[in-house]
Amino acid sequence: MGRKDRLPAAPALPAGGQGLVLLEGPEGAARLYALAGAEDEGAGLWVRGADLSGEELDGLTLSRCLLEDCRLTGAGLRKAALTDCILRCCDLSGAQGYDGSWQRCAWQGVKALGANLSGSRLKDWSCTDSRLEALRLDDGVLEHASLLRTSLAGANLAELRWKQLVLEDVDLSGACVTGASLRGLDLRSCRLDGLTAGESLRELRGAIVDPIQAAVLARLLGLDIR
């Protein structure tokens, strides 16, 4: 199976926003807030420049939507369900979005420092040029997903389950992978300094690394490499 076969499916909406209903600033924020409160699905929306910092949007359901330059810092996004959506240059830092569902979604230039996606399932999900430091994705699922030029430094990936995952130029320094098997995962373009695992380091068995990375990981075993 080649690399292209393992890449996630793209969201089923035009990247340029053609045909979507454009809602800007406060109008877009009000629409998303109303959708979450009414437990209704929003479809075919292009929300740009909305500030929903600290708002409770639990259960927000969106399909075929483009969110651009939106602030969702500290927002409640518990059990949110997004399908065929693009988030572009949005800030989800500190957002509480555990037990959520992201299907055929793309994150582009997203900032999500310390966001909580624990227990979430991300299928056909791509993330490029993003900062996800200290992200919580423990007990989550990444299925048919890719991350490119993205930082997961200090992220909590404990018990993470994955299938068909592509990582390219991803910073995993200081990330916790306890209970998450990395067998078969190609980490050769990733930064692994300070990666933490369980005492037996069984999580690292079968991971694909280069010789320099192997030396870094060997230090976790207490080996004296000279």
Q: What confidence tens digit (pLDDT) does each residue in 54-92 have?
A: 999 999 999 999 999 999 999 999 999 999 999 999 999
At residue 125, φ and ψ (nearest 5 deg) are: -115, 135
Average pLDDT over every residue of 79-106: 97
Q: pTM of the entire structure?
A: 0.91
In tens, the pLDDT along 131-184 reads: 999 999 999 999 999 999 999 999 999 999 999 999 999 999 999 999 999 999
| Secondary structure element (H or E) that encloses residue 214, with its range | helix 211-218
Could you identify the residue written with the tokens 């098997």?
181
Q: Which residues of 2-30 are buried (b: 16+ CB within 10 A; e: fewer)?
A: eeeeeebeebebeeebeebeebeeeebbe
